[in-house]
Amino acid sequence: MRTPTLHDVAHLAGVSYATADRVLNRRGNVAEKSVRKVEDAVHQLGYVRDIAAANLSRKRRQRLAFVLPRRSHPFFGRMHEQLTRALPHLRTARVEIDIVDFEAFDAASLEAAISGLADRGYHGIAVAGHGRAATQMLKAMREAGTRIVSLVSDRPEESRDHYIGIDNVKAGRTVARLVGMAHAGQTGRVVLAAGSMGASDHADRIAGFRDVMARDFPSIAISDVIETRDRSDLMHTRLREALTEVDATAIYNVGAGNEGLIEVARTAEGRRPFTVVHELSAPCREALEEGTVDVAIDQRPEIETSRAIAWLRAVVDDLPPPPAPELIPAIYVRDNLPDDSLL
């Protein structure tokens, strides 16, 4: 059975080829009655538009933007790398992507990055970052027709069309279970570190962690959260101070800055705390191999980036979004590390 064509759609609908083409490519100036006939014909025939051919014939390019913390941030550096690798392929598919960076945890820097996007004709924007002013600007762009994806941590629904990232509450709950199991029924104290409790992904991980610990492991105390802005130097200073004040049996860092944590762990005296970090960076891999860190939770930023591209490309062309099962973070210990060439 041959594949139905646009000529078949026009014939079944009783309209001209030009009219059917106008309906399917959203060019307007078609009577509502004719629109319904064409749509019914498409449904009956199972006709699928050749989006690539349509975009080529109209000389149309998709223009997308990714707003990310700067490449120097290790986690988001992996997103930058994934985008850089994808750009040559995307250009052949008539997709242009601009990377707009900002300083992590700096609301003014994020606001400045987003403020210049509204008048540049982007069809879709993926954003990893939060701020009240940024949310309002994204809401306005969405209402004007730009498709918005929230990356890594979710934002208010009115300011985005879709969220791509792990369930951060579940991630925190998972780490709590690992920490509880490591204590084997004994008492203890956990030192928590985060980039910022103002970042919803970090706050969600902490909330999930606290919930499970309070319910299932009440004999393990939790210290106040150390905020480090994901900076290794702040992590080093503040974690060292915390460890001199309490006898920690576990450390959980929900953000970045792990190089500082690893340095403190390597030079600490006495019993080493059970340590869980986020992100499988090269330093974290080395720390897992040598036994300085016990578990690394990897959010798989390369997959998040690829999913964001695929989702935006589909919805910008009025296609159904691709299927996307829940993104489950990988749990790495020293025994199941992937090939380091994949990092």
Concatenating the DSSP letter of every residue in 193-222 gives EES-TTSHHHHHHHHHHHHHHHHH-TTEEE
pLDDT of residue 219: 97
- For residue 232, what pLDDT is reported? 96
* 42-99 per-position pLDDT tens digit: 888 887 766 555 554 455 689 999 999 999 888 999 999 999 999 999 988 889 999 9
Query: For the structural domain made of 168-298, what CATH number should be given?
Result: 3.40.50.2300
Q: Per-residue b/e over 87-118, b at no fewer than 16 CB within 10 Å? A: eeebeeeebebeebbbbbbbbebbbebbeebe
CA 100 to chain centre: 15
Give the chain's residues under pLDDT 50.
56-57, 342
Q: Where in the chain is the domain with CATH 3.40.50.2300?
A: 62-164+301-327, 168-298
Q: What is the pTM of this model?
A: 0.82
The CATH number for 6-49, chosen from 1.10.3720.10, 3.30.1340.10, 1.10.260.40, 3.40.50.300, is: 1.10.260.40
- For residue 167, what pLDDT is reported? 96
pLDDT at 150: 96
Q: Which CATH number fits domain 62-164+301-327: 3.30.70.260, 3.40.50.2300, 3.40.50.620, 3.40.50.920?
A: 3.40.50.2300
Give the E-state strand segments of the chain in sequence order. 62-69, 95-102, 124-127, 147-151, 162-164, 188-194, 220-222, 226-227, 250-253, 274-278, 295-298, 330-332
Residue 164 near residue 312, CB atoms below 8 Å: no
**CATH 1.10.260.40 domain range(s) in the chain:** 6-49
β-strand 220-222 against 188-194: which pairing, if any?
A: parallel
> So what's the pLDDT on residue 56?
46
b/e map of 119-146 (b: 16 or more CB within 10 Å)? Answer: eeebbbbbbbbbbeebbebbbebbeeeb
